Structure 1
Amino acid sequence: MRPIAKQGDGGHFLCQSHANPPQTAGEASSRWRGFAHKPSLMESLLDEQYHLCCYSELPADQEGLGFHIEHVENKSQNPPRTFDYANLAASALASENDLRAFKARGDELFGGHAPGKQAACDMVRFVSCHQADCHRFFAYVSDGRALPAKALDARETDRAQYTIDILNLNSPYLVTLRRKWWDELDELFQEHAEKGWSLIDLAAIDLVPVNRRLNRFFSQTRQFFGPLAEQALRQHAARLV
């Protein structure tokens, strides 16, 4: 999970709705369902997220999937934040076609549509994508799993594991994609090392945005390359360090 720096306020219509926020879960659901400006709002969210899912860092469109607008703090739990731009993000899996397709083939839902996240979420334990240091809570290993980072204390480890579980970040679908990505990076790394090609340039290919887009699994890639990644980012995309 990479931290998302919010930009702007989501536009006039969102601000107008937030000026008179809903007070009950029912009102929040009804008003959100009727909000007609979701497409432009989604564009703003994806732009500030470099077109990666706020939780899984999956470029959903590259996998033939969509996005939905996620309430990081569930609107049923805190209705007044329904139209609060600081509470919104773009999460993988569109609410219509993707959910039906995943269920039809037996895949587990993840991210904002994970059953745990749809239920009551403990925001004290939950690591939010809007938390500036959220990246330090998670480690990604060669078999594709997301784990709590080793340097965390006991409370932080609990928060990381809680977040992984509630978002189902180790769904078989995500684990398979992350494992394949790790193997691809490892193969390229070995080839570049053997041939004396620039490893920093290799890291930059998958870490530096192109047309406001990042490649898949930014945090996993950053951890894979370690110090090389930090050097590549400092040289080519310091704003992401």
Structure 2
Amino acid sequence: MQLEVGAHRADKSAGRIRQHNEKLILTAAEQEFARYGFKGTSMQQVADRAGLPKANIHYYFNNKLGLYYAVLSNIIDLWDSSFNELDAHDDPAVVLPRYIATKLDFSRRYPQASRVFAMEILSGGPHLSEYFQQDYRDWFRGRAAVFEHWIAAGKMKPIDPAHLIFLLWGSTQHYADFAVQIDAALGEDRPQQELYETATRTLTEIILDGCGIRRD
């Protein structure tokens, strides 16, 4: 029994080490890919940034493409999971502000990953061709249907759901993707917490008012 307990503890310890190293590598990869793009980034650069031997990087990720996909997948999964929480039976006056705040928080916490995604899209999305297939279109139509339900129920104005979704995505990700421009306009010494709190209030007010969503 003692051996089994010891083995269990060893497995848990190994699991924690793996999680720690994978997070360290992904964070380093986000920074390198965001700065140099997929072609300009090497596994050695990621290893140097992470402070790990290059062999360790290959242990967790077979090659650069696999590591790149992992970075893209992480941020897409975060964005999609928060968007999937919107339900046709919800009150948009409650869930839309929550969604806007969540997306802006992702921009604050994961700006490099957002920039990697933006660079991939600007280059034509060559590594996302399988992602943007029929399943994606079906998923998008399902998300748009939530807004159509709210419109039919008189909870918001008859605004085109697709373009509203694009507005939600673009406005919230802007604070990560165009941080250099924002810092130039507002000053780099502006506290990040203040910036994002103001952005959250402003976007929420503009979007809800524009959609005719009443807040009690």
**TM-score where L is the length of structure 1:** 0.28
Structure richer in helix, relative to its length = 2
Structure richer in strand, relative to its length = 1
Greater Rg by CA:
2
